[in-house]
Amino acid sequence: MTRPPRNTLREIEELPDLGIRLSDGTRLSARVWRPVDAGRDPVPAILEYLPYRKRDGTAERDALTHPWFARRGYACIRVDMRGNGDSEGLMTDEYTPQELADAVEVIYWLAAQEWCSGTVGMMGISWGGFNALQVAAMAPEPLKAIITLCSTVDRYGDDIHYKGGCLLNENLGWGATMWAYSSRAPDPALRDDWREMWLQRLKAEPFLPSIWLRHQRRDAYWRHGSVCEDYTTIRARVLAVGGWADSYRNAVPRIVENIPGAKGIVGPWVHKYPHFAVPEPRIGFLQEALRWWDRWLKGLDTGVENDPDYRVWLMDGVRPATWYAERSGRWIAEAEGATSHLPRRTLHLTGTGLSARPGPLAVRVRSPHHCGMAAGEFCPIWLGPDMPGDQRVDDAFSACFDSAPLPEATDIVGAPRLRLRLSSDRPAAQVAVRLNHVHPDGASTRITWGVLNLTHRNGHAAPEPLEPGREHDVTIPLDHIAWRVPKGHRLRVAISSAYWPILWPSPETAELTLRGGVLDLPVREAAQGPEWTFPPPDMARPQNVRRLREGRNSRKVETNLTTGRVHLVIEDDFGMVEDCEHGGRAGSIARERWTIHPDDPLSARGACHWTEETGRGGLRLRTETRCEMWSDRTHFHLKARLEAYENDRPAYEREVEDSIPRDGI
């Protein structure tokens, strides 16, 4: 038959619950958008494969994205992973061999459908971006291209678990999120046996922090799914996208520089798709993705292979704020590679500050344990006041090294590195490094940061205790960034021995002695104007919902003047909506409390509580999930509780308690 012109929009249909039966009999539930005539004129398939519930969890963003591609000649398939949403089976962990094998089976199933042309792409953000890379590394033949957003190539070193060998408190925070997410029931409108499935899941649901804390080194558990172990296994064409306000800043340049043909885009955004992300400017991400799919799934000449390898938003240095609606700057582009080829400037830490010339250094660092309260959220995602505030709060508890006023505007593009010569008076210690932009009035904005567990100074596979008093040479990589410091402003390197509540503290208060330091700063020739232009954002019609409760976000630091303890108290109420198309209701509230005494690392405690509500008609389903973590010198201690209710009557409850030995952390 005659194919429609490329720019012709096709009429589409939506299938809310297409069943995909796996070889072991498990039925996965898929929501599908596809052209109505795809049976006569087959189209490529685009798979998004998640545990976050297509019926309510991602429905709002799905509505903006998948119908848009479908109208342009694609079948978009949004699959609930095994044990989640409306799919059968049980989930035991993230990125398991079972999860990835299921995805491969789904890809072959899609390619064999009469409405599919036989080529498949995979797209996703966060979890979906992770498994897109991991599935691409398994090289299923129909998978020709992927678009991975806000993801990682290294599950140990660049995710929510560990950073620089330090334990991230997001390990508990995101574990609490999944404890809540996975506790929700299937939609009773789709399954008569929903209650039986729900109870089966509740009884089997894992408390993931217990699993993750049993792997404090970079062992085989973390090497699985880390595509940096062997980039050559990826044969699909890769477009990688990230955001400077997101925690996943490093994957895009690493992908560009290690996977042939890969392209990268990084904007000023938090952990969101860039056609509706903040801070602005947003871009026409769907149009950019369409060029990618048309080239690699349809074989059309869209010119994407001739695009610059690396396109990033160079942010103007601005005053510190816990939220930005927009970030001024300009798009810059590197034709080949990402940043490894850019020149680096050497600055020395000296007793008089940050200098182009070396000088003597003898500085002690013994930060109070609440240093880090100005860090903001590790991974801004919920749109509250989550960005790093004025760093003077934490600079006061740090050793600070300031440069002279810069003689010209300086574009920092890449990943700075700090090399230190130091000693510790304790066998375990951590060091946190912030590169800050100091304004003429003294305000301090965090540009980028990095941390190191000093027992991991020689690698993350085999921690080694420090010999107190012995000097060591260590390197701390800071996260990638693109930032312009104006003429006349200063740079500051701030070094602390604590970074709470981003990092769990070492078991003893350590004092570090700095004897030398060199900052390797990637400096690009100053951009004179925009070097790339993206189209403005476009998207499909928003989801039709009725708001039953508006959302709100709160973040407060409280000091108990009686006990001396400092608390970070967070509440994110995501509101409640009713889907006007199928009548389902969904809402949630997340609460976190992080507590520490400035003088006592063993006072550290994290507590999380989520409320999840779903239902339809007169049926109300709710789960309350709680968890806590604390530690002594030798062990981490965990406690979690799950309660499920049907129309406010108890349906199930369970408690988990665990103690896990500390291993160099």
Q: Are 200 and 174 in contact (CB under 8 A)?
A: no
**Structural domain harbouring 500:** 344-524
455 plus 548 within the same structural domain: no
| Residue 535, number of CB atoms within 10 A of its CB | 11
Q: What is the CATH number of the domain that holds 395?
A: 2.60.120.260
Domain count along the chain: 2
Tokens of residue 447, six digits = 């540009």
The answer to whether residue 428 is domain-embedded is yes
Q: How confident is the model at residue 2 (pLDDT cuts 50, 70, 90)?
A: very low
Q: Which of 40, 50, 32, 30 is nearest to 4 (CA)?
A: 40
Q: Does 401 lie in the same domain as 435?
A: yes
- Can you tell me whether residue 78 is helix, strand or coil? strand
Q: pLDDT > 70: what percent of the chain?
A: 99
Residues 557 and 520 in one domain: no
What string of DSSP letters covers 391-456? THHHHTTSEEEEPPPPSS-EEEEE--EEEEEEEESSSS-EEEEEEEEE-TTS-EEEEEEEEEEGGG
- One-letter amino acid identity for 500? W
**CB-CB contact of 295 with 305 (8 Å):** yes
Query: What region, left, alpha or beta, does residue 420 occupy, with left being phi > 0 and alpha being psi -120 to 50 degrees?
Result: beta
CA distance 237 to 136: 9
Q: What is the pLDDT of residues 141-157, one digit of tens each?
A: 999 999 999 999 999 99
Is 126 among the domain residues?
no
Boundary-marking domain end, from 491, 524, 557: 524
The reply to whether 511 and 589 lie within a common domain is: no
User: Encoding tokens for residue 466?
Assistant: 């420090």
Using one digit for the tens of pLDDT, what is the confidence trace for 248-294? 999 999 999 999 999 999 999 999 999 999 999 999 999 999 999 99
Find where tokens 């409390």 sit: 593
pLDDT for residue 50 = 96
Per the CB < 8 A criterion, the answer to whether 624 and 643 are in contact is yes
User: How far apart are the C-alpha atoms of 52 and 47, rounded to whole Å?
Assistant: 14
Q: Read off φ and ψ for residue 68, nearest 5 degrees.
A: -60, -45
pLDDT exceeds cutoff 70 at 4: no
Q: State how far the Cα of 274 lies from the Cα of 376, in Å rounded to an integer.
A: 21
Average pLDDT over residues 503-518: 98
In terms of Cβ atoms closer than 10 Å to its own Cβ (0-12, 13-18, 19+), residue 138 is middle
Does residue 3 register a pLDDT over 60? no
**pLDDT per position as a tens digit, 423-467:** 999 999 999 999 999 999 999 999 999 999 999 999 999 999 999
Does the global pTM surpass 0.75?
A: yes
Please tell me whether residues 519 and 576 are part of one structural domain. no
Query: Rounded distance, CA 287 to CA 489, Å?
Result: 38
Same domain, 575 and 518: no
Q: Decide: 23 and 62 in contact? Cβ < 8 Å.
A: no
Confidence of residue 384 (pLDDT cuts 50, 70, 90): confident
Residue 611 domain-assigned (yes or no):
yes
Distance CA 7, CA 92 (A): 44
Pair (377, 464) in one structural domain: yes
Does 614 fall in a domain? yes
Instruction: Evaluate whether residue 85 is within a structural domain.
Output: no
E strand or H helix at 70: helix 59-70
State residue 7's pLDDT score: 61
Handedness of CA 391, 395, 399, 403 (dihedral sign): positive
> How does pLDDT run across 107-120, given as a tens digit for each residue?
999 999 999 999 99
Closest to 91 (Cα-Cα) out of 199, 206, 179: 206
CB 517 within 8 A of CB 493: yes
* Beta carbons of 148 and 240 less than 8 angstroms apart: yes
Strands 12-21 and 410-414: unpaired
Long-range contacts: 196-199, Cβ < 8 Å, 24+? Answer: 197/88, 198/621, 198/644, 198/651, 199/651, 199/652
**What is d(CA 343, CA 433) in angstroms, rounded to the nearest whole number?**
22
CB atoms within 10 A of CB 596: 28
Q: How far apart are the first and last CA of the chain?
A: 64
Mean pLDDT of the chain: 97
* CB-count exposure of residue 282 (10 Å: 0-12, 13-18, 19+): buried
Convert the pLDDT of each residue in 531-552 to its tens digit: 999 999 999 999 999 999 999 9
Torsions phi, psi for 625 (to 5 deg): -120, 130
Please provide the DSSP assignment of 204-267 as one string.
Answer: H---HHHHHTT--S--HHHHTT-GGG-GGG--SEEEEEEETTSS--SHHHHHHHHSTT-EEEEE
DSSP β-ladder status, 512-524 and 363-365: antiparallel
What residues does 607 pair with on adjacent strands?
A: 593, 628
Does position 665 have pLDDT exceeding 50, yes or no? yes
Q: What tokens were used for 95? A: 């990125």
515 shares its domain with 640: no
Q: How far is CA 421 from CA 167, 398, 514, in A?
A: 23, 17, 6
- Tell me, yes or no, whether 225 lies in a domain: no
Assess if residue 351 is contained within a domain: yes
Domain identity same for 479 and 606: no
CA–CA separation, 29 and 33 (whole Å) = 13
Question: Using the 8-state DSSP alphabet, how is residue 155 labeled?
Answer: T
Decide the pairing of beta strands 619-631 and 600-616: antiparallel
Position 486 in a domain: yes
493, 524, 555: which is the final residue of a domain?
A: 524
Q: What is the spatial distance between Cα 175 and Cα 181, in angstroms, rounded to a whole number?
A: 10
Task: Give the C-alpha separation, 224 to 155, whole Å.
Answer: 8
* Exposed e or buried b per residue across 179-192, where buried means at least 16 C-beta atoms within 10 angstroms of its C-beta: bbbbbbbbbbbebe
- Same domain (yes/no): 518, 562: no
| Chain position carrying tokens 């020739």 | 525
Is there a single domain that holds both residue 380 and residue 514?
Answer: yes
The predicted model gives 592-618 an average pLDDT of 98
Residues 490/318, Cβ–Cβ less than 8 Å: no
pLDDT 10s digits, 205-220: 999 999 999 999 999 9
The C-alpha atoms of residue 300 and residue 306 are separated, in whole angstroms, by 14
Are 368 and 451 found together in one domain? yes
Report pLDDT digits (tens) over 11-52: 999 999 999 999 999 999 999 999 999 999 999 999 999 999
CA 356 to CA 578: how far, in whole Å? Answer: 60
